Structure 1
Amino acid sequence: MYKTIIIEDEHRIREALSIMLEMVAPDLVQIIGYAENVENAKKLIERLKPDLVFMDIMLADGTAFEVLHRLSYRNFHLIFTTAYEQHAVRAFKYSAIDYLLKPIDPQELKMAIDRIADLQERVMADKQLIELQHNLSKTPDKIILPTQEAMYVVKLDQIIRCETSGSYTKFYITDSREIVVSRPMKGYEEILTEPEFFRIHQSHLININFIESYSREGIVKMNDKTEVPIARAKKDVFFKLMKEGL
């Protein structure tokens, strides 16, 4: 049972989220408090020490970042709720931070709670918050790659390619690092998009800026000397991209 606090400055949204939580996770979530501004949110979290916090990005007197930066207790799972337009949602994905779009969908809420069980760490790294603020203010140029050992901040133009194996994705970086993340490729394909990135095969997504050569037989050689196959269904699209000089 997760002791849960909802931090939201709109009464109707607090009520709706409470009702939905009772519907989708009655045996997992126990709501222990509500707050609607920065000061009350800080005091409530410090006093009640929740397991899970739902927090709106924009509060009546400030932002969620002001709350988080002032906390001494941060041993909880955090799910942001936001009314940001769709293009800004990419910032959350690049920062590896869980979020729910308003109006909140009950099925998405249930999936978010289910994901918590797979998370080994409750504490959100400061670098995630820094990157989220950065990515919300401009077009994201970095991505957070969470592993069991650390949170890696990687510039998009340093990613040579990604390779998936089951529920894991391996990132090949220009400094010869290989970073393995316990998340499937599908989630990263949604944010590593064309024209720079191309899903060339079911198991491979490449940064086309690092292509050294490619053959009509269906092999792409990257400039780190690795070779990647072109899926038969992707050949026409890939060759068209190359012909257009992307």
Structure 2
Amino acid sequence: MYKTIIIEDEQRLREALSIMLEMTAPDEIQVVAYAESVEEAVKLIDRLKPDLVFMDIMLKDGTGFDVLKQIAFNSFHLIFTTAYEQHAVNAFKYSAIDYLLKPIDPEELKMAIDRISLLQERVLEKQQLNELQINLSKTPDRIILPTQEAMYVVKLEQIIRCETSGSYTTFFLSDGRKIMVSKPLKNYEDLLEPPAFFRIHQSHLINVNCIVSYSREGMVQMNDKSFVPISRAKKEAFFKLMKDEI
């Protein structure tokens, strides 16, 4: 049972989320408090030490980031709730931070709760929050790659290619590093999209700017000296992209 605090400055949204939690996860969630301001949220988190916090980004006297900067206790799971549009949604994805879009969908809420059970670490890294704030203010040019060892901040231009194997994806970077994350490639396909990136094969996504050569037979050479196959289904779209880029 997760001891939960809802931080939201609109009463009807607080009540709606609470009802949805009772309906979707009655045996997993216990809502113990509500807050509608930064000051109130900080006091409640430090006093009650919750397991899970749902937090709106925009509060009546500040932001969710103000709350996170002031709390002493931070060993909890965090899910942001936001009404932001697609640009900001991508910022959350690039920063590897969980979020729910308003109005909250009960199925997405249940999936978010299910994801929590798979996470061992409860402390949200400051690095992630810093990246989120940066990405919310501009078009994201960096991505957070979470591994068991660390959170890696990677510039998009450093990514040469990505290769997936089952539920894991390995990022091959221009400095020679290989970073493996425990997520399939489809989780990153919406973030690494054309024209800069292209899903060239079921198992491969490449940075178009790192292509050295490609053949009509269906093979691409990257600038890390690797060779990546072009799937039959992707050939036409790939050659069109190359023609448009040139």
**The two structures share one fold, judged by TM-score above 0.5:** yes
Q: Who is 2:49 aligned against?
A: 49
Contact 2:82 2:102 in 1 (8 A): yes
Corresponding residue SS for 1:240: helix
C-alpha distance in structure 1 between counterparts of 2:86 and 2:10, whole Å: 21
Let me know the Cα RMSD of the aligned residues: 0.6
Unaligned runs of 5+ in 1: none
C-alpha distance in structure 1 between counterparts of 2:69 and 2:183, whole Å: 28
Deviation at 1:232, TM superposition (A): 0.1
- Residue 62 of structure 1 aligns with an amino acid whose one-letter code is G
C-alpha distance in structure 2 between counterparts of 1:91 and 1:139, whole Å: 8
Q: Who is 1:4 aligned against?
A: 4
Deviation at 1:158, TM superposition (A): 0.5
Q: Who is 1:221 aligned against?
A: 221
Contact 2:87 2:139 in 1 (8 A): no
Contact 2:87 2:136 in 1 (8 A): no
Question: What does 1:96-107 correspond to in 2, within 5 Å?
Answer: 96-107=96-107
Q: Who is 1:135 aligned against?
A: 135
* Percent identity (aligned): 75
Q: Who is 1:175 aligned against?
A: 175
C-alpha distance in structure 2 between counterparts of 1:174 and 1:120, whole Å: 31
Corresponding residue SS for 1:55: strand
1:37 aligns with 2:29: no
Corresponding residue SS for 1:244: helix
Deviation at 1:48, TM superposition (A): 0.2
Q: Who is 1:58 aligned against?
A: 58
- Residue 121 of structure 2 aligns with an amino acid whose one-letter code is E
- Residue 48 of structure 1 aligns with an amino acid whose one-letter code is L
1:73 aligns with 2:77: no
Unaligned runs of 5+ in 2: none
C-alpha distance in structure 2 between counterparts of 1:226 and 1:67, whole Å: 46
- Residue 107 of structure 2 aligns with an amino acid whose one-letter code is Q
- Residue 71 of structure 2 aligns with an amino acid whose one-letter code is L
- Residue 10 of structure 2 aligns with an amino acid whose one-letter code is E
C-alpha distance in structure 1 between counterparts of 2:233 and 2:127, whole Å: 39
C-alpha distance in structure 2 between counterparts of 1:27 and 1:218, whole Å: 52
